[in-house]
Amino acid sequence: MAEIEIRAFAADDADDVLSVILPIQREEFGINITADAQPDLRVIPDYYQSGKGQFWVAVKDGAIVGTLGLKDIGHNQAALRKMFVAAEVRGSEHGVAARLLDRLFSHARDAGLTDIFLGTTDKFVAAHRFYEKNGFVEIAKADLPRSFPLMPVDSKFYRYKFG
């Protein structure tokens, strides 16, 4: 089994990040979305890698196979965004999603974050189970902080509280 490296996003990764995320959104989940509708993916260093945020990629055999963004939303809170893992490396035998999330939790603790929020769609049922298994609790949309970056497709919301 090839080793999978989790590392911070670098500018040269931009096109490869899109090539992981867009097919999952469009082909697997039937979400009619384009790169242009996700401007955050064109400015990852400014959008995610500022304040207490960060953006990670999972790399296998030189190719990006997973992504995870953490957006600083102020008040020691952050939004988990753009967690995608290519189909061929999903599941516990590869551990890509778990390793990405472990890196996020470690970074968040070191940065002094108190809460991580996320929004997802009803279609991502496996993701719901993953988040719940890893300590996220479903919350009502009304319980999100005002600074949370809402996406039109999000219909389910979660919170992870440190401490």
Class assignment of domain 4-161? alpha beta
Mean pLDDT along residues 74-86: 97
Which of 30, 49, 72 has the alpha carbon at shortest distance from 17? Answer: 49
17-29 confidence digits (pLDDT tens): 999 999 999 998 8
61-79 confidence digits (pLDDT tens): 999 999 999 999 999 999 9
Question: What backbone torsions phi and psi does residue 46 show, to the nearest 5 degrees?
Answer: -75, -40
Q: What is the pLDDT of residue 121?
A: 87
The domains of the chain are located at 4-161
Q: What is the pLDDT of residue 160?
A: 98
Q: What is this structure's pTM?
A: 0.95
Under a CB-based contact definition with an 8 Å cutoff, are residues 9 and 57 in contact? yes
Average pLDDT of the chain?
A: 95
Q: Is the pLDDT assigned to residue 1 strictly greater than 60?
A: no
Q: What is the pLDDT of residue 124?
A: 83
Interatomic CA distance for residues 9 and 25, integer angstroms: 20
137-151 confidence digits (pLDDT tens): 999 999 999 999 998
